[in-house]
C-alpha cells in the first residue's frame, strides 16, 4: 500500500511540474479532483497600461529586473565573451498548481519561485544571444488545462492579455532597429503562438524577428502556421522563422495526445484533425529531420533539486516522425519528471540546451550580417 501511495504521489508531482497541453489527457478524474478550481471564475482587473514600467513586473528585464535568473549557466557551458545583441522575449510555462484561483495571483510566492526555477533551465540558453525580458503574468492555473469547463479558456484568455501588455511594453522599450527573439514553453508557447498571429503577422516588426521558439506546444503546419506570419525554420542560417518540437523517448506513446489535438481547431478556423505538427530538429536547426548523438552539443542534466546542472555532450539523438513528434531514442535518465508514454515535455529545452544556445546565437549573427 505504501508503495502504491508513493507511486501516486510521484505521478501527481509529474503532472504538476509539466503543465500544458499534454497533461489534460492523463488521469482525468484524478487531476480534475486535484487541480481544477472549484471556485467561480473571477474576471481579472485589467492592469494599468504602464504597469510593466515597474522592474518588479519582470523576472528579467534586459540586464536588470527583479531577479534575473535567466543569466544562470550550467557547469560545462562555454563562456561567451561578447553576447549577441538581440532582445529576447521569453514567456514562462505554467507554474501555478493551486485550485483556489483560475489565474495565479502575482503575490503567490510558491508559483513565482517555481517560475524562476523554470526560467533558469529553459530561458538560460538564450542569454548568450542578448538581453532577456521575461514578464511576470497572471498565468492560467494548471487546472485550466484539465477541464472542459469554459472557465479554463477564460483563464487562458485573461493570462494572454497580460502577455500582450508585457510584449507591447517590451517593444516600446527596446531600440527600434534591434533584432528580436521570441521564445516560450508549454503555456508560454501557447501564448507565443497567439502573439505571433496578433502582433507579428503582417506587421513591420516581423522584419526584426530573428526566430520564434514555440516549444512544447503543438503547431499545425496546415492550419496554424500560415496565420502566424513567419515560415518554419528549415536551415540554421535562416532568420525570421519559427521552431517548435515536442520530445518523446521511444517507444513513444502519444496516441491520446493526437486524439486531443485532432479535436481542436486551428488559427484558420479549420480542424487540426490529421494535420502535421511542426517539428524542428534542434540538432540540425531544421535542416534535416534526423541527427545522431554526435550532433548534440550538450544536454542539461539537472541536479535532483533542479537548481543546478551540468552539460553532457553527445547524449541524445533526435528525429522528427511523420506526425511531427520529436523522438529521442532510448529514455535518458534526466530526472523524475517524465510524463507517461515516455513524454519528455518538461525537458524539451534541457535535452538540447547547448544546441538551442548555439542556434539562437548563430541566427542573430546571420540576421546582423544581412
Q: What is the pLDDT of residues 103-116, one digit of tens each?
A: 999 999 999 999 99
Mean pLDDT across the chain: 89
For residue 348, give Cα distances in angstroms to 58, 86, 119, 152, 273: 23, 22, 13, 24, 24
Using DSSP's 3-state secondary structure scheme, residue 302 falls into strand
- What does the pLDDT read at residue 35? 80
Q: Is the pTM of this model over 0.75?
A: yes
More confident residue, 182 or 67: 182
Which residue's entry shows cell 505504501? 2
- What does the pLDDT read at residue 67? 60
Q: What are residue 340's phi and psi, to 5 degrees?
A: -55, 150
Length of the chain: 370
Query: pLDDT tens digits for 328-363?
Result: 999 999 888 888 899 999 999 999 999 999 999 999
Torsion angle, CA of 344/350/355/361, rounded to 10 degrees? 130
For residue 148, give Cα distances in angstroms to 29, 32, 153, 154, 267: 12, 10, 9, 11, 19
Rounded distance, CA 294 to CA 310, Å? 18
8 Å CB contact between 127 and 83: yes
Q: Hey, which residues does 301 pair with through a beta bridge?
A: 310
For residue 363, give Cα distances in angstroms to 180, 210, 368: 11, 6, 9
Query: pLDDT tens digits for 275-304?
Result: 999 999 999 999 999 999 999 999 999 887
Q: Is residue 6's pLDDT more than 80?
A: no
Q: What's the domain range around 207?
A: 2-369
Q: Is residue 370's pLDDT more than 90?
A: no
In the chain, the number of structural domains is: 1
For residue 235, give Cα distances in angstroms to 81, 82, 281, 289, 362: 26, 24, 10, 11, 11
Using DSSP's 3-state secondary structure scheme, residue 85 falls into coil
Strand (E) or helix (H) holding 168: helix 150-173
% of residues, the chain, pLDDT over 70: 89
Query: pLDDT tens digits for 79-99?
Result: 887 788 999 999 999 999 898
Rounded distance, CA 289 to CA 248, Å? 15
- What does the pLDDT read at residue 42? 85
More confident residue, 17 or 5: 17
- What does the pLDDT read at residue 345? 94
Of the given ranges (67-71, 116-120, 315-319), which has the lowest mean pLDDT? Answer: 67-71
Query: pLDDT tens digits for 22-81?
Result: 444 445 545 565 788 888 888 889 999 999 999 999 999 986 544 678 888 998 998 887
- What does the pLDDT read at residue 267? 98
Amino acid at each position: 500500500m505504501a508503495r502504491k501511495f508513493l507511486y501516486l504521489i510521484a505521478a501527481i508531482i509529474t503532472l504538476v511540474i509539466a503543465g500544458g497541453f499534454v497533461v489534460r489527457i492523463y488521469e482525468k478524474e484524478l487531476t480534475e479532483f486535484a487541480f481544477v478550481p472549484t471556485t467561480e471564475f473571477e474576471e481579472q482587473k485589467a492592469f494599468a497600461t504602464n504597469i510593466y514600467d515597474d522592474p518588479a513586473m519582470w523576472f528579467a528585464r534586459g540586464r536588470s529586473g527583479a531577479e534575473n535568473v535567466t543569466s544562470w549557466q550550467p557547469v560545462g557551458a562555454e563562456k561567451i565573451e561578447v553576447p549577441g545583441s538581440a532582445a529576447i522575449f521569453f514567456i514562462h510555462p505554467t507554474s501555478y498548481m493551486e485550485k483556489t484561483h483560475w489565474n495565479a495571483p502575482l503575490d503567490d510566492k510558491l508559483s513565482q519561485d517555481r517560475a524562476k526555477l523554470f526560467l533558469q533551465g529553459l530561458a538560460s540558453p538564450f542569454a548568450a544571444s542578448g538581453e532577456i525580458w521575461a514578464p511576470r503574468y497572471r498565468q492560467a492555473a494548471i487546472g485550466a488545462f484539465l477541464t472542459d469547463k469554459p472557465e479554463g479558456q477564460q483563464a487562458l484568455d485573461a493570462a494572454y492579455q497580460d502577455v500582450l501588455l508585457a510584449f507591447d511594453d517590451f517593444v516600446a522599450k527596446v531600440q527600434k532597429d534591434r533584432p528580436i527573439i521570441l521564445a516560450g514553453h508549454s503555456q508560454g508557447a501557447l501564448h507565443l503562438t497567439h502573439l505571433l498571429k496578433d502582433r507579428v503577422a503582417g506587421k513591420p516588426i516581423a522584419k526584426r524577428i530573428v526566430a520564434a521558439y514555440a516549444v512544447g506546444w503543438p503547431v499545425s503546419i496546415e492550419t496554424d502556421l500560415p496565420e502566424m506570419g513567419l515560415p518554419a525554420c528549415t536551415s540554421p542560417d535562416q532568420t525570421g522563422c519559427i521552431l517548435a518540437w515536442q520530445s518523446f523517448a521511444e517507444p513513444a506513446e502519444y496516441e491520446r495526445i493526437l486524439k486531443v489535438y485532432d479535436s481542436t481547431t486551428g488559427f484558420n478556423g479549420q480542424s487540426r484533425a490529421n494535420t502535421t505538427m511542426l517539428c524542428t530538429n534542434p540538432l540540425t536547426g531544421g535542416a534535416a529531420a534526423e541527427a545522431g548523438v554526435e550532433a548534440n552539443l550538450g544536454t542539461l542534466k539537472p541536479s535532483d533539486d533542479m537548481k543546478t546542472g551540468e552539460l553532457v555532450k553527445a547524449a541524445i539523438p533526435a528525429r522528427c516522425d511523420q506526425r511531427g513528434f520529436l523522438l529521442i531514442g532510448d529514455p535518458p535518465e534526466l530526472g523524475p519528471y517524465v510524463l507517461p508514454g515516455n513524454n519528455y515535455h518538461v525537458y524539451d529545452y534541457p535535452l538540447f540546451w547547448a544546441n538551442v544556445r548555439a542556434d539562437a546565437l548563430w541566427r542573430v549573427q546571420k540576421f546582423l550580417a544581412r
